[in-house]
Structure formats: C-alpha cells, structure tokens
Amino acid sequence: MTDVADPSAVDLFGEWHDGAGASGMRAPGGGTAYRALLPATAPGPGQQYRFEVDLDSCTGCKACVAACHSLNGLDEDETWRSVGLLVGGTAAPPTTATVATPVAPWQQHVTTACHHCLEPACLAGCPVEAYEKDPITGIVSHLDDQCIGCRYCMLTCPYEVPSFNERLGVVRKCDMCKDRLAEGEEPACVQGCPTDAISIGLVSTVELQAGLAVDPSARLVPTAPRSAHTQPTTVYLTRRPTAPHNVVAADDHHVVPAHNHPPLVAMLVLTQMSVGAFVLSHLLDLSGVSEAAGSTASAVLSWVSALVAIGASVLHLGRPLVAWRAVLGLRHSWLSREIVAFGAYAPLGGATAAASAGWLPNGLTPWLATATALVGLAGVGCSAMLYAVTGRPYWRLDRTVARFVVTMAATGGAAVALADVAVAGGEHAAVAATWVATCGIAVGWMMTFVFVARHRGAAGPLGRSVSLLTGVLSPQMGLAFGASGVAVVIAGGASAGSPSPTAAVVLAAVALLAVLVAAWIERGLYFTGDSPDRMPGALR
Amino acid sequence: MSRFALPIPQLRARTGPRTDELARVRLASAGSARGRQIPVRHAPTSVASSVCGFCSTGCSLDVHVRDRRPVNVVPTDVYPVNSGSACPKGWEAMTPMSSAGRATTPLLRRGGRLEPVSWDVAFDEFCSKVRRVQADHGADSFAFLSTGQIVTEEMALLGAVAKFGLGMVHGDGNTRQCMATAVTAYKECFGFDAPPYTYADFEESDVVVLVGSNLAIAHPIMFERLQRNPHRPEIIVVDPRATETAMIATRHLATAPKSDQTLFYGIARELIAREAIDRRYIAEHTSGFEDYAAFVADFDAGRVCAATGLDVESYLGAIDAIAAGKRVSFWWTMGVNQGHAATRTAQAIIALALMTGNIGRPGTGANSITGQCNAMGSRLFSNTASLFCGRDTTNPEHRQEVADIIGIDAAAIPDRPSWAYDQIIEGIVKGKIRGLWVIATNPAHSWINHGHLHDVLERLDVLVVQDLYADTETAVLSDLFLPAAGWAEKEGTFINSERRIGRVRALHQPPGDARTDFEIFQGIAEVWGCGPMFRRWRTPAKVFDLLAELSRGRPCDISGIGGHTGLDEVAVGVQWPQPEGSLDTAVERRLFEDGRFFTPDQRARFVFEEPTVAPERASDRYPLVLLTGRGTTAQWHTQTRTGRSPVLAALGPEHLYVDMSPADAEARGVKSGDTVAVTSRRGAVEARVFVTPSVATGQVFLPMHDRRINVLTAPGFDPYSRQPSYKHSAVQVAAV
C-alpha cells in the first residue's frame, strides 16, 4: 500500500479530492463522476496503464464485481474481479476510540482483478502464446481462441486471475476492457464503482521496477504475494494512517487443500517412473549388471508408461484437439519445453525398445538408449522448472527436484526390478534396482519429516502447508507412508526368502503397485498441500 | 486457387467463436453522447427502466430486453437517485427473476403435500377457506400480512379488498419490522409520517450524523451521495461496531448497545448549555422545548459517558462538531428503529435537529432512511395500520371521506384499528386468529424469536402464502400457495426513502401461470363476489389515480403528478407532495422549508421519556450482547431472491460467521474459522467464528440473512411503534 509518504500519492489525492469537487463532471460511461477516471493521454514511452484503487473510497460494496460481470457478458457464475477484506487493530473495549488513534479497530476492503504485470507470469508460462502484453498500453490480454485450456496460467499467476470456463474449455480473464479504453470509455469496474474508487492511471515502468529493486519484499497490500515476482502495476492508495501491524485477511484462517489435478499427478508419476526406469536400466546395462531380456522388458515398460502419461496429460486439456499448439511457447514456457521433451522422449523410447528387441539394428541400442535417457531427464527437468518458476515456496526448485528424483528412484527402481524378475530371473539387476527404490523411499520420507519439523507452526506459505499435511491431509500422508512401507517390506522379504519364480513376479508386481500408489498420493500432496500467499479474500 | 488451399492451422487464433463470446457493441444512452459498450450476446432490441425492487434507495435500472426476454440489467444513467450506479443486487436484479426456482402454478395442500392446481381451484379454495374460518370464528379471525416489496397500487388493492371486500380487520405489513418506529416518531413530532429530506442533503451538509446505520453496506448508493459531499463534512457515526461506515467517519462514537437515547439527551443538554441552539426557530416553529430542556438537564457528561461507555473527550468533541455545524443532518436506520425504546430514541434525534434549527434547509434534517423498496408506499397507501394516506380508521369522517372517493358504502370500512404484527402473532397463539394470508414476505425466517413462530404458524387452521418461490421458509408451511409475478413483471410505483415515486414496469412475462399480485387480488375479489366494489380499481394506473384522489389535501398529496402518464413523462420520479396546481417541480425537494409542520398548530413537538434498559441484559450465563444487521451488499433480508444469483452468492460468505472481538475469542479459546455454538435463552445456532476488532469486547454480531438467526433474538418490542427489537439479545458463545 502506498501511503502519504509517497509524494505522488499525495498529489494524486490532491487532484482527486480537491480539484474536481462535486462538479458533476459527466463521465463517458454515463454516470456523474466527480473526478477524471481515465488518464488524459495515452501511455508514453516507458509508461503503461494501471488500475488505481483509492482504498479510502472503497467500502466493499462489490458493485465492481457485478458491473464487470454484466457489462462484459460473463457466464452466470463467472467473475473476473473480487473484493477481499483486511482487518486489524485492537478491539474497542466498551468505550470509544476515535478512528484516528493507531490502536483503533481497522478494516479495509480490497478490490482486485488482473494487475497487468510488467512480468506477467501467465504470459511467460503459456505454452501456446495465448497471452499478449500490449507494447503501448501494457494491458495483458488473453486470446480465447488460442487457448488450449491447459490451465498452467492458473498456477503461474500469483493473483488467481485467470479463471477456467468449463463451457468453453478455455481460460478467460480481465483485459482492462481495452476495447472500451480505446474508445475513451471507462472499464466496466470503473463505471460500476459508486464511489469512484477505481480508476485507470499511467505508471512509469522504470520507476515501478526501481521501487521493487529497492524493496524486493514489497506487496500490493498486506498479506498479498510479493510484487517482485511478476511486478504487478495496480496501485492501492490511502491517506489514512498506515495499517496496524496485526493486519490479517478475513480468509486467513481459510486454509484448505488446493485442487489435486489427477491428470497432472498421473502425468508426473508415470513420466518419472518411465524416465527413472529407463535411466536406471541404461546405467545397469552400461555397468554390465543387467541381462539383455531384462533391459528390453524395462524399455518396453518405460515406453508404455510414457505413452499413458502423455495420454493423461492431453486429457487434462480443455481443448485437446488443438494440443499441437503447445510447441509454440518453446522460447519461454517450461510447459512447452516439457511437452517437446516428452514428445521426443516417447518415440525415442519406442525406438530403443525396438532396437533392444532386435527389430532395429542392434548397434543403435546404446546410442538410442543414451539419447532417450538424456531427453527423458531433460523432460523431468522441465517438469520441475515449470512448477519452480511459479515462485511458490512449496514448489521451490530444490524441493521439487528432490521430490521428482525420489519418485524416479522409487518407481523406476520398482519397475526395473519387476521387468528383470519377470523375464530375466532377477539375479542382479533386480537386486540393484530394489536397493535404488528402497533408498529413494527412505530419502523421500526423511525429506518429508525434515520439512514438517522445520516449518511446523511457521507463519506464511510453508507453515500453512505443514498445517495442511499434518491436519486435513494427514490421512493421505498415512496412506502414502503405508503403501511405501508395504513395498519395502516385500522387497526385504523377497530378498531374505527365496520365492518361486512365479511368486517372485507377483511380489515384484505388488511392490511396484504399492510404490505407484505411494507416489500417486505423494504427488497429489504436492498439489493439495500448496498454500501460497494470495490477495486478501473475503469471508467464505 | 483458393479451393485448393490446404487448411493451414492458425498459429495464433485472434478470432473465433470463443473470442466472439465476449464481443461488444455500442449502445446509445440518454446519459452520454457516446453511450457505452455492452456485450453482443446480451444486445437488446429494446431498453426500458424500472425502479429496483430491493432496498428503499430507489435506484432506476435499465432492463435490456431481446425478443421479450430480459437479457441484462444496467443502472439508468439519468436518474436523480443513482445516476448510473447500482449495488450488486441491482446489477443482478434479473437473475432471481429468471431463476428455475420460480413458482409457476398455484399449490394446494392435499394429504400433507402441496399439489399443483388451477387458478380457478385456487381462488375457490381461498374464498371457501376464508369464509369457513370467518363463519366459525368471526370476520376478524382471518388476518393478512402485507409487505414493502410489492408496488403501491397492489398493496392498496390488497388493503382495500381484504378490509372492505373480505371483511378482514387485522392486517399489518412487514414494514412493521423496519419502519414502524420512524412512522410513529414522525407522526408525534411532525404531525405526519413525513421524512423531510432529499438525497442531495447528503451532499450539502457540513456535519453528517449517522446513527445505527451502516450506510456503506445497507444503502451503498446513498453512501455514494455522501462521499460526493464537497464540503469535507464532519461525519459522526454512532454505532457499537467499527463498520465500513465508521471507517470513513471523522468521529466514531462506539456507544454501548442501546445507550443512544441517553447519548442524544446528553448532547441536547450540552448544546442548550452552550446556547448552540436556534432560539428563534424553537420559538416560532416548535412546542414543548422548555419541558424538554428541563428534562435533559439531568443528562450531564458523567451520566452519559457512564451509560454509553464513551470517553468524555470524544463525547464533547462530537458535540463541538455539531455545535459548529451550519448545515447538520441527522440520519438513522435500523440500529435505532429496531430497539426497545426506538420511538423515543428517534424522537431524541428529531429534537436535536429541531432545537438547532437544522431542518427545512439544504443539508439538514432528522432523516429516517427506509428499508424496503416500497416501505414508504406501504406506510401511506397499504391501508393496513392506518386508513389510506395516514387517515385514522376509528374516525368516522375519515371513513366517510374514503368511502366517498372510492365509491363504496362507509359501513364496509372497519371502524377499529388493526392489530400490529406482533399482536396478530399473539392472536394466533391465543386462538383468536385462525387464518393468515402472507403476501411477499417470509416471517418464518424474519420474525423475531421465530423458533416460537414455527409452532405458532402450525396452530393456524389456514395459512395462505403468496410469493415468487414456493420454497421459502414460510411457503413450505402453507395450505395454499399462490405464485406471484416479480420485479419488472408488473406495472406500478415504488416510493423511496426521500419520498420519490418511481415507476416499476412490466418488461417481461412471469413464468408459467404466475400472476401479478394485482391480478390475484382481483381474482379473489371476483370469486368472493365483491368484484363490483372494485370496478374503479381495474388497472394499476387507475388505482394510482384513485390514490391521488385519496391523497388530495393530505400531506402526501400526489394529485398533481398526472398519474402513471405524468410519471412516465418526467422519467425521473416525483417526490411527494405534488398537489394539483403546484408550480414547484424541482427534481430534489425537501419538506418544512416554511417551518410549518403537519400538527394542528403547525409546530413540531419535542417528545421525551426517561430511558429504560433493554429488556434482556447480559448475564453470567449469557454474557455477550448479540447485535444483528446486514451482512454484505450482496444479501437481501431472507435471501429468497439474492440466494438465487451465483454472482451474489459468491459475494457473500458461504457459511454463517459470528463476529467476535479478539479478547472474547481468546477467553473462549477459539480462533477464526472454529465452529462455535451461539446460545440464547431461546435456542442455539452453530456458526464459525470470525475474530475481528470491529466488534467491541462483550458484543458479538450475526448477519440477519441466515434463517437460524431469529431463533436467538429476544422478543422485545418498542411500546409505541410495536417494532421488534432485533438489536439486543443476550447470548453465550462456546466452542463445540
């Protein structure tokens, strides 16, 4: 929040409240605005449009939400703007307190929509170039017919702006009513605000960036995500004394599991099993541990799971028929890169399996296998990056990579073990693979315990994640622990005893299944346990 | 060559069906040279305006109609009340009308179930049920509950048909729950129920005193007017809670609940002591001041601060501000009206305006802000508590006047006053009321202490409910349900808080067999056999003309408006009075500019009484004071309409929250989001806690929109207005 210490804010307020007065100036939209709600000129070089919110005038009537809905013809339950609430201060005892005293009860409604960021994360992440930022106005708009409905922008945007429209299979969002602005008409929310709290202004992009460089922990309003990440342009102005120290959002207590994205879970677990198995099998080959038949079986198993993973990810799209566009964002989108990498990985894996089975010249096998392993690892790397770049602490790169490596080791190890036991007797490769899987599981649990211990009770996103994982999500945690425990016990039992070949195959299959169940739940928790900072919300 | 072209995939699809979904076109508007862009998918073939059907602000809304179906609603640009603005309820006004939950056919209870029947059967059943009850228990044993939600012409016809045609004696409106106090206070002080102000007064004051009014949330468009005040006004908010409105106040007096009567007596004493009063105005235009001054002399600062919990500094500071004001306006809403001593409290506010001469001038007034869209219409023209236009039904001359104007036998007009709402309920308990007809209101949700009311309604021999939806808390209890038309489905007028009569228009068809309330009342009259009495009431326009005749010479004279046609011509509504021949056609007018009131001696009166404590006090067992009020701008009363709009639903909380101070929450070991039981002497409700410093320690707040709230409220009533005291009940809150 910018307070009176910011001279530009004071100037602006001087103009707003003293100049125009109740002159009854006619606003283009029709109503009687008492001050100019649009800038007098178009943005010059180094400038762009921004929303300006006069918090002192915002009473939380939420007409902006309804006006945006009606004047833009949104679907019945679709809204592009929302109004949250911040509260703080000290409760008045049954005596009075004037509002000017610093301990007085304090509340502030906060209207929010797209912030038309200088570094829009929606745009950077979009695999199909469905976002564009106008070079003159700075407005970030969405091409609804270009969108394939992957919803990745809903993960990258820290402000929960893009919203998915089930009917159309695409995401939609605020475009600052750019067609209205082009004709000198105010955006719908500006027209709809009874108290003229929302207006459009010009911002110097250089000054905004310089400010964020000086204060990288700045937020638009208390409790909002850090602005340094995407450099949002909206400015919230107030002339009131600064907010009390104990401000919380009205929905602060509303910490609930996020969406669990089953297709993404399937895609991540299965690609990581595939790549893990492939890499492990290839390493065992190179070190001469594995039998040829076992390698071939591993390659086939990897390949099939890669195909299933890709199928699952396509199902996730709102418009699977135009999925091919996902290559367009290669220059900037980690999702495009992931898609390209796995798009290459699947045929390479198929070719490796074919070569290994003798359907292609056998001399190609090591080359193909090496290429497949490298491309597969690149794909998993892209997967990790595409979550890490969202800036969410729970998905920070090291945490994400560690989880993905554990998944590759556990599921890949179990898969290689099964393949080797099934077709090659499980003499050497299976033993080594079982060790890799067991170590992976152990490391995974160690990481989880350390994470929970370190962040338990902490304020902020990671503390909220721990409270979710140890609270409402604890049954899932228990299931994942149990399933992986079953796999470890089977592995231990199988190596201690000497089961019949058929029993060994069954045991290896059950172990793989158990590991997959654990990995599936763990990956669900990767999504549901995330609780990033967000704009203040209202009571829900 | 083109027919050989390959279908090359578009690399960047800037156009297409999804883009077209959001395409916009320009729609001309009377309010601006260029009009505004509106969505193509909701482009209208015609646009017509109608006054909003939610609150008493009386905003005008443009309904966009295509192929005789409403497609969108946009606030009217050129209308003095809202000039292009609306709150979310206004923007979403059509959604509840188009809801799939609308009742489409009359329903009759047979064997325990409500079954669809034809209108012929419904009217026959209605008449035979009423006749049977009246035959067995007397004509006064069948009562009706009217509403502030239907147009004036309909409520007038209802009052006439029920009382003059069907012989009913007892009929009251749900306006008893919101406005009765203002009515009573004004009548005693001004000689007539006459809110003196116009909304421009919000903009012209230099001191604005808001009492028990969260204007920002309850009346957002009136609040807009206040925010446009260019005089940097002192805004003094008297409210136990630090509301949105208190946040913009220059002075917030967080008084202890129900201590405001004492506060205003104290302020009067200080103003008199400082001689910050208008002796000349008092002498020329009021009576009873000396007694008043003597009475308030006891209310010294020590007494007032002890009662209100205010510190002396802020108390005296507020008085300084009022004393320094040149144009001071006083405004009150439900925080005053819904109290155990509401009438005297409102009159204490009126007294401040009178003694300081702050009335009848721009930016002044003792101004009651009304609740429902047509509460003012109900107060003047519903023929329930009073005979048409503020007449007295016990006065034979008044009865004769009315009979002559509407052309009926004066003997058909009941000569005794109706019971008030709470007396009708009590009448049911005592077996004196055996049948009840409820029109466009939902007492099973809204009536105070309604845990008891459910039992009460069960005792009725016959309950008839007439509403838009057959699933309201009251409708589900009915023996006969009559489906009615809703907003913008019928012709008529609403009268807003500033006395502005605005047009409501039939712009689309009600669903199925639903009929306008007007047609329903006519149908009942015909089947009953009293149709000929109401031949002059054929259409809403004719009824308006009759009401204009009935108003002639009364303070609320509207004989100069020229009927519906006249209203349609001016297009900005007309404030009453507008007598025939009056040359004053200003769009914004206020009353009492000449200092002459409607009392026999044309002087305003000072009325006072020793303050009393609220009937239900906090105790060891129930140590917290429960306050109730509006939750968000997106919720209206019992939510029978607002609950049906997904947008409005998204703007209010999904769960019921009880607001509690940090200290009280800590003492109970609860935090925001925890589930608690809120218990009063009458019942218990589960809610989630919202810890917020906006409520003071020792108090909790619940929004009134949840159907369970009035299980808790204490059944107290103001003795003069008989308005329920929703704002003060003792409760306990405990974790569950």
**pLDDT given at position B9:** 62
CATH classification code of A7-89+106-243 = 3.30.70.20
Backbone Cα Rg of chain A = 28
Binding-face residues of B in 161-220 toward A, CB within 8 A: 203, 216-217, 220
In angstroms, the CA B329 to CA B359 distance is: 8
pLDDT at B425 over 50: yes
Joined tokens for residue A336: 């495009």
In what helix (H) or strand (E) does residue A520 lie, and over which residues does it extend?
A: helix A501-528
One-letter amino acid for residue B733 of the chain: V
Q: Is B268 helix (H, G, I), strand (E, B) or coil?
A: helix
Query: With the CA atoms of B443, B447, B449 and B453 taken in that order, what torsion angle do they form, in degrees rounded to the nearest 10?
Result: -30
- pTM for the model stands at 0.92
Query: What is the separation, in whole angstroms, between the first and last Cα of chain B?
Result: 78
Q: In what order do the strands lie in the sheet with B142-146?
A: B113-116, B107-110, B480-483, B462-467, B435-439, B142-146, B171-173
What confidence tier does B583 reach under pLDDT thresholds 50, 70, 90?
A: confident
Residue contact A30–B31, C-beta within 8 A: yes
Q: Phi-psi region for residue B710, left (φ > 0), alpha (ψ -120 to 50) or beta?
A: alpha
Residue contact A109–B244, C-beta within 8 A: yes
Residue contact A21–B38, C-beta within 8 A: no
Cβ atoms of A523 and A404 closer than 8 Å: no
Which of A22, A72, A538 is nearest residue B653 as measured by Cβ atoms? Answer: A538
Residue contact B37–A63, C-beta within 8 A: no
From chain B, the residues in CB contact with A194 under 8 A are 82, 85-87, 220-221, 223-224, 227
Q: Is A367 helix (H, G, I), strand (E, B) or coil?
A: helix
From chain A, the residues in CB contact with B82 under 8 A are 194
Based on the number of CB atoms within 10 Å of its own CB, is A481 exposed (0-12), middle (13-18) or buried (19 or more)? middle
Angle formed at CA B228 by CA B222 and CA B230, multiple of 5 degrees: 140
**pLDDT given at position B209:** 98
Question: What residue segments make up the domains of chain A, in order of their start?
Answer: 7-89+106-243, 262-528
Question: Among A394, A272, A384, A303, which residue's Cα sits nearest to residue A337?
Answer: A384
pLDDT in tens, chain A (540 residues): 444 334 333 333 333 333 332 222 333 333 444 458 999 899 999 999 999 999 999 999 999 999 999 999 999 999 999 999 999 987 655 444 444 444 688 899 999 999 999 999 999 999 999 999 999 999 999 999 999 999 999 999 999 999 999 999 999 999 999 999 999 999 999 999 999 999 999 999 999 999 999 999 999 999 999 999 999 999 999 988 777 888 999 999 999 999 989 999 999 999 999 999 999 999 998 888 877 888 888 899 999 999 999 998 888 899 998 889 999 999 999 999 999 999 999 999 999 999 888 888 878 888 999 999 999 999 999 999 999 999 999 999 999 999 999 999 999 999 999 999 988 877 788 889 999 999 999 999 999 999 999 999 998 999 999 999 999 999 999 999 999 999 999 988 887 777 888 888 999 999 999 999 999 999 999 999 999 999 999 998
Q: Which of B49, B228, B319 to mutate to test the interface with A (most CBs of A within 10 A)?
A: B228
The answer to whether B663 contacts chain A (CB < 8 Å) is: yes
From chain A, the residues in CB contact with B238 under 8 A are none
Residue B606: alpha-carbon gap to chain centroid:
26
Question: Among B154, B156, B172, B143, which residue's Cα sits nearest to residue B53?
Answer: B154
In angstroms, the CA A120 to CA A349 distance is: 36
Question: Among B469, B462, B463, which residue's Cα sits nearest to residue B487?
Answer: B469
From chain A, the residues in CB contact with B217 under 8 A are 59-61
Question: Among A442, B48, A35, which residue's Cα sits nearest to residue A434?
Answer: A442
In angstroms, the CA B521 to CA B518 distance is: 5
Residue contact B647–A172, C-beta within 8 A: no
Mean pLDDT of B184-208: 97
From chain B, the residues in CB contact with A60 under 8 A are 216-217, 244, 632-633
How many A×B Cβ pairs under 8 Å?
Answer: 271
Question: Which residues have C-beta within 8 Å of that of residue A238, sequence separation ≥ 6?
Answer: A1, A2, A3, A54, A55, A56, A108
pLDDT at B301 over 90: yes
Chosen CATH of B17-91 out of 1.10.579.10, 3.40.50.1440, 2.20.25.90, 1.10.1660.10: 2.20.25.90
In angstroms, the CA B214 to CA B209 distance is: 12
**pLDDT given at position B5:** 52
**pLDDT given at position A361:** 86
Considering the segment(s) B107-178+377-490+507-537 as one domain, its CATH architecture is 3-Layer(aba) Sandwich (3.40)
In angstroms, the CA B265 to CA B718 distance is: 18
Q: Is B388 helix (H, G, I), strand (E, B) or coil?
A: helix
In angstroms, the CA B81 to CA B51 distance is: 10
Q: Phi-psi region for residue B352, left (φ > 0), alpha (ψ -120 to 50) or beta?
A: alpha
From chain A, the residues in CB contact with B88 under 8 A are 61-63, 65-66
Chosen CATH of B624-735 out of 3.30.1490.20, 1.10.1520.10, 2.40.30.10, 2.40.40.20: 2.40.40.20
The domain B180-368 having CATH identifier 3.40.228.10: the answer here is yes
**pLDDT given at position B10:** 67
Neighbours of A377 (CB within 10 A): 17
**pLDDT given at position A35:** 58
The percentage of chain B sitting over the pLDDT mark of 70, rounded to a whole number, equals: 98
What confidence tier does B7 reach under pLDDT thresholds 50, 70, 90?
A: low
pLDDT single digits (tens) B398-414: 999 999 999 999 999 99
Question: Which residues have C-beta within 8 Å of that of residue B176, sequence separation ≥ 6?
Answer: B385, B420, B421, B422, B721, B722, B723, B724
Q: Which of A54, A55, A57, A61 to mutate to test the interface with B (most CBs of B within 10 A)?
A: A61
The domain A262-528 having CATH identifier 1.20.1630.10: the answer here is yes
In angstroms, the CA B666 to CA B627 distance is: 20
